[in-house]
Structure 1
Amino acid sequence: MPGVGRELTEPQKIACAARILDAQGYALDVAGHITVVRDDADDGSMWCTPYGLWWGELTASDILVIDTDGEVIQGRWDVTPAVFIHTELHRARPDAKTVIHNHPHYGSLLSTLHRLPEVTEQQACMFDGDMALFDTYTGGVDDAQGGRHLADAVGKATAVILANHGVLIAGETTEQATYRASNFERVCRLNYEALATGHSPVPVPPAQRPTLKAAINSHHMTVRYFWDGAVRRLLHDAPDVLD
């Protein structure tokens, strides 16, 4: 595979992730945020997208550094008031190095139904046993207590429907979390469109799911193929994302 053609810094990856998802219609104006725990620091600090800019206009230089309490320690923009969704999930989940939240259309549609998608096609096997429904709308998560409540409720899930709100995705890397976010919105759309036919979709047999789940979550195969191709396409059209 040709790869991306260059090494990307973490802020560059985050800006690319935001633009890739925005191009898929995933982002709702200034809503949504991406955080990544910094590997180059031992204080738990995080890279974070800024509040007030649309994902489709972000560049690497816009990405903030925040501390474990959500305070900006580096960067020229403000942080989202809902940063506690991220700080407390990262605190509770060492595996969740990257957390993505936004209000994509089909995930948000299922959130109005308080419904998780079913595993009815092979791509959905990526989330088999790893989905959660946070089924109480609590308004904005604007303090640490609310963030802890959310983190406790979702447990180890990698894809979460937030009732009457949106979607939360966790991943081990920015690349994996971006692929999960993109794929989960597709899964939600297929579920909705299947329900709209008036017929009952047929689930993937449980015995077939583990192999597919491992393959689709693989950093060295499916995740890499998605990420490299999406970034190549982005850099061809918008190389300024790396600035």
Structure 2
Amino acid sequence: MRILIAEDNALLAQGLSAMLEALGNEVLATAEDAGSFVTAALTHRPDVAVVDVRLPPTFTDEGIRAALHARELLPGLPVLVLSQYVEDTYARELIADGTGVGYLLKDRVARVDDFLDALHRVAAGGTALDPEVVRQLLVTRGDPLARLTGREREVLAMMAQGYGNSEIAARLVVTERAVHKHVGNVFLKFGLPPEDSGDRRVLAVLTYLGAPQRAASASPPARFPRRGSRGAG
């Protein structure tokens, strides 16, 4: 894969580059701020970009906004966002932007197999969310989830992470037919179209979970406010 990295922590950027290149990928460039990232994306047109949520100069939301801007200029640009903490609103905005997106906590990078799996999934146009991000989305979504059974919640969480029916079946040690039934029940209870085809169903569920009101509403997901304090990405 041809990869672009946007990370102001030189040690982390170098470590990521070395790891990815050792595995046969090409790191096209590393950017230290939002502006240079967008410029590099337009110049190199990478297969996937890995972007820190918080970049100079304010270390608030420059990274994710740069990623969204780059996707406007290069529609469909796959982006995997890294963050030190779970920021629900960041995840929601990214989810609403479409397929080929991912949001991982930085400690997930240390789990090389998980990180590479997410990177490949996003590069292929899929969706990859950190399990902790999914957990918080499920918690904050509120009442609609109360209609789901425990098993349906498990299936929903795995769907949100980007897993297909066969992968969910293997992890839950049930039949794929049973998973298909649970997926159908989730869509029915959420009032969503019974679409059961790969990342489109994942995106539909994630959009529903990330929206401030029902997915069927005409209102778009809320834009998160800018923060003024400096913090870790």
Q: Normalized against structure 1, the TM-score is what?
A: 0.26
Q: TM-score, normalised by structure 2?
A: 0.26
Higher relative contact order (CA 8 A, sep 6+): 1
Considering fraction of residues, name the structure with more helix: 2
